[in-house]
Structure 1
Amino acid sequence: MLRGVLLDLDDTLIDHHGAVRAALDLWLPELGVASTSETSALWDEVQERHMVAWRERRVSFAEQRRRRLRDFLPQIRIPYEENDLDPIFEGYLRAYESSWRRFPDVDEALAALGAAGLTTAVLTNGTVEQQRAKLAKAGLEGRVGPLFTVEDLGVAKPSPDAFRLACERIGLEPARVVSVGDRHDLDVLPARAAGLRAIHLDRRDAGPHDEPDRLTTLTGLAAALSR
């Protein structure tokens, strides 16, 4: 019998993708650069590359931010000095933080999970400080159960150990827990390897489309869990 749900945060509960787009639209013109689909794609690429190093605990969170800028700024032709990197990133961060919002389908889904008597928790690869701030800004603080991050667990998704440890923290066997998240590689495959059920929340309909446990909105989550 299903007893618990591990929810991803970014692009599952919080519209991280939309917040990044809005932040770039605010921040890049301050640097004298137009925000375009090309600059957005470049930002996404360097972010993912260096977040891998953070997830693997090879660099600090602050250093992965600096590395992103070292790759990004030369490609948009913005000169910089090493001492400029943290202040430059602060400009982006202010815009990003001002754009945090929960998705419109989150309230209904949380209500349905609560009505079903399911324990919920958030498993995310971000820092404790930033992810707690997102929950507070989006009106989700105290509504989603405990927050587990790589800093708490000592291991990040996609390691199956992240899921096993999170289940241990909430006192449930993995077989009684489902993982729900937007990343098939981070939230679905490793969760199944850890013994959980997993649902891919594919909000942007990017696939893989042959995934049998796939939703494009949280609205259908309670019904999917009952199957």
Structure 2
Amino acid sequence: MLLDLDGTLMDHDRAADAGLRAWLPSLGLEATDAEVARWIALQEPHLAAWRAGRISFAEQRRRRLRDFLGTDGSDAELDAVFAGYLAHYERGWRIYDDVADALAVIAEAGLRTAVLTNGARTQQLRKLAAIGLGHLDPVFTVDDLGVAKPHPDAFRRACSRWGLAPGEVLSVGDNHELDVLGARAAGLRAVHLDRLGGSTETARVASLTELKDHLR
């Protein structure tokens, strides 16, 4: 089983929200819902450029800061500012309550697990260790594969390195486009983890503990 990390194993949204609200006052900004929403809205365009290989991971952070603050600065200055947010964000890293039970069910079914994440390898390994999942292996990242989800090659390369055919692997994640549609395009089976509800996907679960109905 190929598991996503952020939003699937770790509660990224809660950590990001708490981190932002603690960090914004240090910039002289109010931690309002509007400011949080503006930061989140600026994230995806720059992450998309990084996933496409047009900019580095560090550069996508800098560009997000430039857009958010409406100012510029040297790379070193922007990196220092972003480090303030990261410090607060990292304090909020938490595992979802359903993960331990789900991993136990998967293990009992005799299935192997791996992680496929669009994050940078160093940070994602630190996340897994921080939330008590450092034992999960292998972990495939954009840095390893040279391509990001939802590109089918991200899934194909992960399966190849894992020594499994795509048709033998089930992808599970919270992002329908990245974790489900991309996986199916590569020949994997896929289930949408729809924690918030509202998905029209037929192969969906509201909690990882419901995965037992999709194991075979």
Q: TM-score, normalised by structure 1?
A: 0.91
Greater CA deviation, 99-108 or 216-225? 216-225
Aligned to 2:139: 147
Q: Structure 1 residue 84: deviation in Å? A: 2.6
In 1, Cα distance between the equivalents of 2:137 and 2:212?
Answer: 17
Q: Report the RMSD for the aligned CA atoms in angstroms.
A: 1.2
What is the aligned counterpart of 2:208 among 210, 214, 218?
218
Contact 1:182 1:203 in 2 (8 A): yes
Q: Equivalents in 1 of 2:181, 2:26: separation in Å?
A: 40
Q: Map residues 115-126 of structure 1 onto 2, 5 A cutoff.
A: 115-126=108-119
- Residue 55 of structure 1 and its aligned partner are, at CA, apart by 0.5
SS of match in other structure, 2:113 = strand
Unaligned runs of 5+ in 1: none
Measured after TM superposition, the shift of residue 224 of structure 1 is 2.7
Q: CA deviation at 1:13?
A: 0.2
The normalised TM-score by structure 2 is 0.96
**Structure-2 residue corresponding to 1:111:** 104
2:109, 2:215 within 8 Å by CA — same for their partners in 1? no
Q: What whole-Å deviation, never above 9, does each CA across 1:114-168 have from its counterpart, x for those lacking one?
A: 11110110000111100000001101101x2210001101111010011011111
Structure 2: segments with no counterpart, 5+ residues: none
Q: What residue number does 2:125 align with?
A: 132
SS class of match (1:81): coil
Q: Per-residue deviation at 1:32?
A: 1.9
CA distance in 2, matches of 1:216, 1:72: 33
Q: Does 1:172 align with 2:160?
A: no
**Residues in 2 aligned to 1:183 and 1:39: alpha-carbon distance in whole angstroms:** 23
**Shift in Å at residue 98 of structure 1?**
1.0
Aligned length: 215
Q: Per the alignment, in what secondary structure is the counterpart of residue 55 of structure 2?
A: coil
Question: In 2, distance between residues paired with 1:50 and 1:146?
Answer: 27
- Report the CA distance between 1:223 and its aligned residue: 2.0
Match of 1:50 among 46, 49, 57: 46
The residue type equivalent to 1:21 in the other structure is D
Structure 1 residue runs of 4 or more that deviate by more than 4 Å after TM superposition:
none
Once the two structures are TM-superposed, the CA of residue 85 in structure 1 deviates from its matched residue by 1.1
